[in-house]
């Protein structure tokens, strides 16, 4: 199984209403320094896979939505998280974030 496939399998395990960080997924896979690779895996998610892999449940280590991808935009991620009951706050500078104390997945 490829690294990307392992990322997708791990992200599928994140329960609805919870989030994980890119680094958390990397650590779960035994590659704690591969947070950026996790981000690339989710960026490269095939269109068919985006409905079976809950990519929106992955945020950065500070709980911020950090996607800059057109297909998986920050607005879309915030919308999908809100539909799952995850409160997404917005700072004055436009940065959107999730309270990890409430929503972090403890696997």
Give 39-73 pLDDT, tens digit per residue.
999 999 876 656 799 999 999 999 999 877 777 78
Rounded Cα gap, residues 59 and 15, in angstroms = 14
- State which residues form the domain around 22: 3-102
State the pTM of this model.
Answer: 0.92
Residue 70 resides in a domain: yes
Q: How far apart are alpha carbons 92 and 83 in whole angstroms?
A: 22
Identify the CATH number of the domain in which residue 52 sits: 1.10.10.10
Report the pLDDT averaged over residues 85-105: 95
Whether 107 is covered by a domain: the verdict is no
CA–CA distance, 42 with 7 (Å, rounded to integer): 8
Query: Is residue 96 situated within a structural domain?
Result: yes
């Amino acid at each position: 199984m490829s690294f990307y496939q392992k990322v997708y399998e791990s992200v599928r395990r994140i329960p609805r209403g919870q989030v994980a960080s890119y680094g958390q997924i990397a650590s779960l896979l035994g590659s704690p320094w591969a947070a950026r690779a996790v981000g690339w895996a989710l960026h490269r998610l095939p269109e068919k896979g985006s409905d079976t892999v809950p990519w929106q449940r992955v945020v950065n280590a500070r709980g911020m939505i950090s996607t800059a991808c057109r297909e998986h935009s920050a607005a879309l991620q915030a919308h999908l998280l809100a539909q799952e009951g995850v409160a997404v706050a917005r700072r004055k500078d436009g940065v959107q974030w999730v309270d990890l104390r409430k929503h972090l997945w403890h696997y």
